[in-house]
């Protein structure tokens, strides 16, 4: 029991626990309204609110959390809070004008959502910094239970989407007020320029790195506003646990590269093991995803599996974790440049392929842009740092398994969706 407590008495595990709870709620609140009879246009309206709310607040939340962790309660958090509140107000004003251009959205509701999200989604970090880790587990579980209960109650009462969003805003407002209980912002309320500079740096990094997660939705809603947004959003998500595995592996290898001379062989071995089970697993998912979506949602959402499969296809490039090498050697600027190239490529290709191939062209552009990012990364590692890909990456196994994955994707598409594209 003592060993188990020590294992879970870890900040990363506590935040992962909170992240998985949020993910579970997100999935359930997508399935439940469909199952109890909400129409596609209603679920699309709900997803539009949640999408634009997240897209217009994620950089504020990300910068707040990162600055909070790096500050680690060493200084008053007044500067961080003030900067976040001001940026949240600016984003809320932007949300008001954006909502005027989207028929399904209320400007006041979207503005309220954007205004309350940043602090609400940061409270767990405040608890982590100022209280014991056990408090974070308890708070995350209690909050997730109450939130799910309240929103589900509204769904089962067949309340309108506007009423559901209003309830979400009120809940987030209460969470935001709780931040003031945990924050270290005692007098004197001095504005500290060093903390502000750190905060704005994280805002820039978050914007450049995070916009990719929302670009497809923006372009889809611009080019094809009549397309059911929930059908797209329910599918356009990567498999969460695979994403977590590769993200954590990439992060963990930063320290390994810095401290151990044989990091290349270790990375190659770990990636080889991951390739052996993840590629066949995803290959099978390509075939069963349409039936899974029909079972979890309804036949109307079977087409969502096409978006899911395209996002899964990015596994071909996600396994290339060369970014760990750049971060270990403190070459973050190169990563920012590559992220910028990917963002521009995605925008250009999404518009071009979106016009030619429709919604599926937009999704295909995301895969191509991500591939460009990874290929340029490997070229830089070889030419500028003298690292051959075969030294740290299981190239032969990758070629064989990637061929299998491409074939699985093609066959599954022809079997399940060959009649729609292309």
pLDDT digits (tens, 9 = 90+) for 221-277: 888 888 888 888 887 766 666 776 776 677 667 767 877 788 888 888 988 998 999
pLDDT of residue 104: 83
Of the two residues 356 and 184, the one the predictor is more confident about is: 356
Kindly give the interhelix angle for 40-55 and 161-182, rounded to the nearest 10 degrees: 30
Distance between CA atoms of residues 165 and 361, nearest Å: 31
Q: What is the number of other CB atoms lying within 10 angstroms of the CB of residue 17?
A: 19
Q: Which residues contact 116 (CB under 8 A, 6 or more apart)?
A: 88, 169, 172, 173, 175, 176
Q: Is the predicted pLDDT of residue 67 greater than 70, yes or no? A: yes
Question: Residue 278 burial by CB count (10 A; 0-12/13-18/19+): exposed, middle or buried?
Answer: buried
pLDDT digits (tens, 9 = 90+) for 72-97: 667 778 888 889 999 999 999 999 99
pLDDT of residue 4: 47
7 preceded by cis ω (within 30°)? no
- Phi, psi of 366, deg, nearest 5: -65, -45
Structure-token pair, residue 338: 């590559």
């Amino acid at each position: 029991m003592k060993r188990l407590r020590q294992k879970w008495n870890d900040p990363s595990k506590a935040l992962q626990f909170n992240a998985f709870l949020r993910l579970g709620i997100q999935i359930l609140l997508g399935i439940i309204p469909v199952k109890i009879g909400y129409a596609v246009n209603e679920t699309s309206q709900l997803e539009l609110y949640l999408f634009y709310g997240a897209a217009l607040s994620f950089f504020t939340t990300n910068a707040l959390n990162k600055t909070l962790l790096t500050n680690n309660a060493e200084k008053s958090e007044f500067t961080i809070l003030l900067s976040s509140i001001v940026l949240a107000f600016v984003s809320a004003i932007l949300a008001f004008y954006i909502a005027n251009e989207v028929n399904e959205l209320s400007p006041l509701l979207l503005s309220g959502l954007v205004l309350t999200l940043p602090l609400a989604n940061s409270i767990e970090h405040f608890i982590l910094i100022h209280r014991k880790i056990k408090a974070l587990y308890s708070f995350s579980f209690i909050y997730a239970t109450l939130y799910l209960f309240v929103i589900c109650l509204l769904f089962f009462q067949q309340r309108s989407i506007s009423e559901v969003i209003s309830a979400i805003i009120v809940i987030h407002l209460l969470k935001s007020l709780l931040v003031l209980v945990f924050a270290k912002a005692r007098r004197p309320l001095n504005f500290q320029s060093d903390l502000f500079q750190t905060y704005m740096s994280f805002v820039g990094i978050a914007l450049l790195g995070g916009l990719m997660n929302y670009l497809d939705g923006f372009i889809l809603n611009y080019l094809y506003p009549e397309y059911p947004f929930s059908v797209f959003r329910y599918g356009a998500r990567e498999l969460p646990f695979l994403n977590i595995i590769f993200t954590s592996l990439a992060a963990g290898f930063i320290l390994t590269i810095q401290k151990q001379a044989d990091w290349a062989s270790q990375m190659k071995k770990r990636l080889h093991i991951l390739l052996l089970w993840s590629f066949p697993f995803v290959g099978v998912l390509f075939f069963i995803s349409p039936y899974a979506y029909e079972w979890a949602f309804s036949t109307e959402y079977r087409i969502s599996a096409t978006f899911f499969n395209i996002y899964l296809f990015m596994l071909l490039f996600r396994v290339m974790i060369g970014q760990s090498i750049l971060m270990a050697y403190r070459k973050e600027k190169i990563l920012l440049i590559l992220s910028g190239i990917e963002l521009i490529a995605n925008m250009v290709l999404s518009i071009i392929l979106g016009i030619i191939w429709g919604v599926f062209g937009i999704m295909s552009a995301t895969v191509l842009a991500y591939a460009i990012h990874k290929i340029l990364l490997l070229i830089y590692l070889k030419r500028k740092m003298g690292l051959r890909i075969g030294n740290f990456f299981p190239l032969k196994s990758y070629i064989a398994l990637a061929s299998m994955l491409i074939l699985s994707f093609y066959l599954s598409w022809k079997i399940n969706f060959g009649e729609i594209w292309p």
